Structure 1
Amino acid sequence: MLNRTLIAIVDDDQLYRESMRKLVVLMGYTVEAFPSAADFLASRFLPETACLIADVHMPGMTGVELHRHLVDAGYAIPTILVTAYPDEVVRDRALKDGIACYLSKPVDDDHLERCLRSALQPGTPIEDNS
Structure 2
Amino acid sequence: MVNRTLISIVDDDQPYRESMRKLIMLLGYTVEAFPSAADFLASGVLPETTCLVTDVNMSGMTGVELHRRLVDAGYAIPTILITAYPDKVAKDQALKDGVVCYLSKPLDDEDLARCLRSALQPGFAS
Range class of TM-score, shorter chain: over 0.9
Structure 2 residue ranges without an equivalent (≥5)? none
The corresponding residue for 2:108 is 108
Residue 36 of structure 1 is matched in structure 2 by 36
Q: Helix, strand or coil: the match of 2:116?
A: helix
Aligned to 1:81: 81
Q: Percent identity?
A: 79
Q: Is residue 121 from structure 1 mapped to residue 126 from structure 2 by the alignment?
A: no
Alignment of 1:11-26 (within 5 A): 11-26=11-26
Q: Provide, for residues 52-99 of structure 1, a one-character-per-residue CA deviation record: whole Å limited to 9, x for no partner.
A: 000000000000000000000010000000000000010000000000
TM-score by length of structure 1 reads: 0.93
Alpha-carbon RMSD: 1.2
CA–CA distance in structure 2, aligned partners of residues 97 and 14 of structure 1: 27
Quote the Cα distance in structure 2 between the aligned partners of 1:73 and 1:79: 14
What count of residue pairs does the alignment treat as equivalent?
124
* 1:60 alignment partner, SS class: coil
Counterpart-to-counterpart distance in 2, 1:52 and 1:17: 13
TM-score normalized with structure 2 length: 0.96
Shift >4 Å, 4+ stretches: none
Query: Which consecutive unaligned segments of at least 5 residues does structure 1 have?
Result: 125-130
